[in-house]
Structure 1
Amino acid sequence: MSFNIALSGINASQKDLDTTANNISNVKTTGFKQSRAEFADVYATSIFNAGNTKVGDGVLTSQVAQQFSQGTLDFTDNSLDMAISGNGFFATTDDLGSRDMTYTRSGAFKLNDDKFIVDNQGNYLQGYQVDRNSGATTSTSLATTQPIRIPDVAGAPQSTNNVFTAFNVDARVATIDGTATPFDPNDPSSYHSSTSATVYDSLGESHVLSTYYVKRAPNSWDIYATFDGQQIDLGTTPGGTPSTAPSTDNYDGLNVSFLGNGEPDLAAGEQTFSPGTLDLSGSGPSGPYLDNGATAQTIQFNFQDQTGTTTPTQFASDYEVTSLDQDGTTVGRLTNVDIGKDGLIAATYSNGDVQYLGQVALVRFANEQGLTQIGGTKWRQSLDSGEALAGEANSGTFGSIEASALENSNVNLTKELVDLISAQRNFQANSRSLEVNNTLNQTILQIR
């Protein structure tokens, strides 16, 4: 029996050595969680044995328990690297349509050739669907998660339908007689100030829309426009007032008037001047306004910002554009990816568009040590771990997500080296016990 006891001690020491060696070998493995060999004594008896004289039957390995303590964070230059600070696991699948989830703390993610976020083994990171404009999450159920994709273009271009502007014109400047000096965009003496905005056609090609401001009388201004350097009518909508004088090429503008306090002169109930319109379906002095095959369009020129809170003024100060914006976009190329502490992914594109593409899903378990280890710093759900519980990062019991960071292994190398020495001593002691038992047996067998 003493042979078996010594042998069980050798086996236990070997298991301890194996566990410690595995921890040491993974000291630089991202997201790795160290294990600890846990032992129990073996004691077998029956009701007919004298229990007070029973020695015991050795030792066995009761469990190799994983330790899910937090590892230190290592910050990187990759915006797709993610680390969880606190509780939770990333959820991944090995196929786009698969619901067979594996869970990991290793956040070394990248884009594959289809622009999906994947890990080093090509598994797809799962996330919640969100509203592209607001980022609001539609569901936090694990059953509704999808692989997260980051397209490198921001959809189809959108033609400009509205231009929004607010400005201050200088009340101190002298008037210009439209008969003696008709407006000419090539003659700076025929206008007081000008500004330009970039607008887009249906193909996403950019064009320059310029507007010019001419004081015709006290508190009265004519506004003219050019499109890519060609003069164009700035037509009036209902309620609008045509310019007091045409341009050199007979193109019309519109007229706006101000009160003595510098505010717009408006009819009762109006908030700002009536908008102007620019019809791009025709031709200017040098040919068609849109000669690239783009769909004909009409742009409305609005005298306010997009919120309607800022309008034109005429004060005794220099000309100033206080707001200038438009609602068209060209094709956007991906320029930046930001991931918040809540896992919300925002992509910025070269056309200024910002889209929310998804929210990284986090999963936790009632018993993390019950997870089944499958290698590649991944685990699967088991009966011992309990059901996977999904949620949002940085809320409740879930940890926050640190972008451009990786969680290092939680192995304490100094402690592991000490444990290695201890396991080696235990192995040697049990080997010595086996050797002594062998010597005793040899002595007994040699008795004559």
Structure 2
Amino acid sequence: MFVYKWPAGKENNTGIVSEHSMCDVKGGGISSYAADPPAAGQSLTACLNQALKDVPKERHALTPLYLGATAGMRLLNLTDPQASNNVLGAVATTLKEYPFDFRGAKILSGEDEGVFGWVTTNYLLENFIKYGWIGQWVHPKKKTLGAMDLGGASTQITFETQEEIESPHSAMTLQLYGQTYKVYTHSFLCYGRDQVLKRLLSKVLKDARYALKVENPCWPRDYKRNFTIETIYDSPCTTAEKPTNYFPTAIVNMRGSGDSALCRQRMDSLFRFTGCTYKSCSFDGIFQPSVSGNFIAFSAFFYTVDFIQSVMKRRIAMPGDLEEAVVELCNSSWSELLQKAPGEEKRLPDYCATAVFIQLLLMKGYRFDERTFPDIAFQKKAGDTSIGWALGYMLNLTNMIPAEETSFWKGTKYSSWVGLILLFVAIILVALGTMFCVLRSSKGRGTV
């Protein structure tokens, strides 16, 4: 949950928005409550109670409240539309119990998610419009940055391009602050971190002919875990590989082997790099123009690379750096990783798989290379505000990004600025004149 604020003294509902506070919702995403929809609403109450404190009481009724759902709910809506509606209804019921101006809960499309992340990134970095020192909004004439998001169920890439976008579904033309932007965007469902990990386990089981005792090359050596087979095949992303003789309660005994080369092979098999009907593709037959310009990679991109740099002490500046770090990470034993990061036991087993996936996605999928990889910045925030789709979504829904250019003013007008500057100059001149007189008088007394 994010709480945003912006100054009231502006025209045309335009201002620089900043993040006032945030709250991490405990538990899974709302899609994980398909069997118990009321629990989805209850999961939000702790953060909503925090919002009651963060937002001034006199502003409660005037503060718009939105809920945007992403790929987890898109998957649920594909497999069970009724369950999806029940979850959204339960969430809406909870949100309406609070004194805010609730304006709806909605499932975003993948393209919306990608574009809103791109808008957030460039808005925060003031690439669309900037507040000038003379008190006027100006266009900075800077190039926009591409945005790459890695969530739980999908991953998105969005960037401005001058190339022809052969796939109309991936083309968007945006009018922001009087400027036109031609943007390429695509969202890959089932390629988010959590779903990739499920698909990987499914691939490991399939390659082992669904044996219930199996080794996973992407888990650290000596790490082991037991789980029911239904936890792998409870997603539409893995249904196609469900074994013929399927017993949901069968227990899988899986142990890590820490083999970076074999892990890469298993992960590579999740992509399809053939069958492109366009001039150029990323993977799975999806059109993509050449990547160009600078990019920001956030969400799980950031957390994974940050782990490599802060815990593994590996600097990631070039593709070779990432390759070497992945090999070291994947060949590490469970005890070695625990010693380096004792507080991350929950996510620790999956860092290897996630790092291998990111390497393949960036280098082989999106086709970054030695020249373009250094243009990627792995970041969590821009300034004090989290990078993600939420801010772009809110800006769009509150009409805080106008379609056409207008005259933007904030605070002091231009004539007042000129008056203030002349006043400051006069004060400085008076101060210098006074200092000169004092020094001259002191010098005169010293020679008597």
TM-score, structure 1 normalization = 0.22
Higher strand residue share: 1
With CA pairs under 8 Å and 6+ residues apart, which has the higher RCO, 1 or 2?
Answer: 1
TM-score, structure 2 normalization = 0.22
